Structure 1
């Protein structure tokens, strides 16, 4: 009902906006004719006064009256024509169009494009709706309204913070986590959430403040996976590749086979290995290079040629990359390694690195094809063949 009242008021305003100037124009036209008639009447009276004083003769007085009378008749006819033919007919047509046409057109447009049968949905009622009947934006607006009036409600900030993260509002999420920590005290989940929000704000870089939050979370709950993964990522970003590889390998070794975070950890491990020029997981370190922590053993002397790794510039570039950019860089390295092995062959370590990198990137068919090529390339060595077969089996590649 309120909508129709508003529409009627808007229609009336629009009609007045059109009719007002028309009415003023008609009044202006009529008042001009009246002024002319008044002037002519004064001139007739002046002629009579001049005749009585003897200033003019009878003949001149009659001639003046005749001329002024002619002007009076002309002015009267002109005023009637303007008021009748111009303002009357056109004014009535304009009034009809303004009063009837405009509302009719507006109503037709509304009925064709609007939804007149839709019930009213005022903001207050939407915010007061039951949670299962409200969308996420309304729910967030409701919580924000509550927190504006109750800024010390730590539980509200704690509920809102992860929602902000899912809505891609990391700066708001970071502030919400800070408010939750301020009002409720620190906890592993709150510190980890704060660190994650700060990392997203920084474009994927684990900043010093984010690192401090993750370390505080792990100090209270050492098994917190998210905090551990972000700290491992920080090691790669800082160029501490051997430490990053060791940390990822340790974490993956203790994971359940169906852990949802395992594929991500494997991708980050491959990134750290390639960025640091380190041997792939499950392979011994090249001769003369100490094995990273968490990986024991060295390669036999006759198998010790180090697999070519990225250049120093590649390592420096990969250290500060966002995860998406680092993945693209890894894919480029893998493509170059695959092309070189296809053209000139390589060691079992190089073939192993290619197979594992393709598998970690989710390209299982290409990994299986690379494993078959590797078996053909190292078939003269039973040990190398066994290594390729063991790696393929561990990666779930059916040969």
Structure 2
């Protein structure tokens, strides 16, 4: 009951954020920055039979249902997802933690929390974020988003080769999806440069097997 009261206190503010974002009247960070991967619905198809499309967490489009939603996990998912989607990653962490408390086996929520922590820390995959991605990968070694951020952790740990291997594998899997393409090409060149791999050679690696 206590959690539900807390949710209701946030509904009006969250609805205001969602309406402002949808109408492009309130200039919030999500308008000028790419959406986090966990709130993006990849449409596929994927170039891998072993990997399934990740399910996006609920965000701005689900805000109207927050007024009538009775499930605590879904309530906190909507709040956390909306905050993450609108650029308030740090504020989304507590909501996502509450969602996980109500559904600890939900891998999607663990990945979303890990991504929120990374974004809130300026792109740094710290131990807390990595722990969330590790939970996801133990349940599903092919989780796309967890693999993406694990590669970042490898890169930040001074291991550009395994990081690049993971990113190239993801590029071959997601094909021509625009959001993933942009995310991966933001990440890969730095690792390739450290390994002495040219952009042309990197493009060839990404295209092989697609």
**TM norm. shorter chain > 0.5:** yes
**Alignment partner, residue 279 of structure 1:** 196
What residue ranges of structure 2 are gaps of 5+ in the alignment? Answer: 1-10, 22-59
- Residue 243 of structure 1 aligns with which residue? 162
Matched, 1:168 2:52: no
How many corresponding residue pairs? 151
User: 1:181–1:187: 8 Å Cα contact kept in structure 2?
Assistant: yes
Q: Helix, strand or coil for the counterpart of 2:174?
A: coil
User: Which residue, 213, 217, 220 being the options, matches 2:132?
Assistant: 213
Cα–Cα, structure 1 residues 258 and 354, in superposed 2: closer, same or farther, change >3 Å?
closer
Q: After TM superposition, give the deviation of residue 253 of structure 1 in Å.
A: 3.0
Q: How does 1:222-261 map to 2 (within 5 A)?
A: 222-258=141-177, 260-261=179-180
The answer for the alignment partner of 2:108 in structure 1 is 189
Normalized per residue, which structure has more helix?
Answer: 1
Which structure has more RCO (C-alpha within 8 Å, separation ≥ 6)? 2
Q: Would the aligned equivalents of 1:187 and 1:220 in 2 still touch at CA under 8 Å?
A: no
Local SS of the residue matching 1:135: helix
Cα drift, residue 356 of structure 1 = 6.0
Q: Report the TM-score, using the length of structure 2 for normalisation.
A: 0.60
Tell me the residue number matched to 1:24.
none
C-alpha spacing 1:268/1:169, structure 2 compared with 1 (3 Å): same
User: How far off is 1:180 after superposition?
Assistant: 0.6
Task: Tell me the CA shift for residue 255 of structure 1.
Answer: 3.5
Which residues of 2 match residues 1-399 of structure 1 at below 5 A?
Answer: 135=19, 153-258=72-177, 260-274=179-193, 276=194, 278-280=195-197, 353=198, 355=200
Per the alignment, in what secondary structure is the counterpart of residue 122 of structure 2?
Answer: coil
Displaced runs of 4+ in structure 1, greater than 2 A?
Answer: 134-137, 221-224, 249-260, 354-357
The corresponding residue for 1:386 is: none
User: What's the CA shift for 1:172?
Assistant: 1.9
Structure 1: tracts of 5 or more residues without a match: 1-125, 281-352, 361-390, 395-399
Report the Cα distance in structure 2 between the residues aligned to 1:194 and 1:245, rounded to whole angstroms.
24
Contact 1:157 1:180 in 2 (8 A): yes
Give the alignment's Cα RMSD to 1 decimal. Answer: 3.4
1:171, 1:354 → 2: CA distance?
35
2-side partners of 1:135 and 1:248: how far apart? 36
Tell me the SS of whatever aligns to 1:254.
Answer: helix
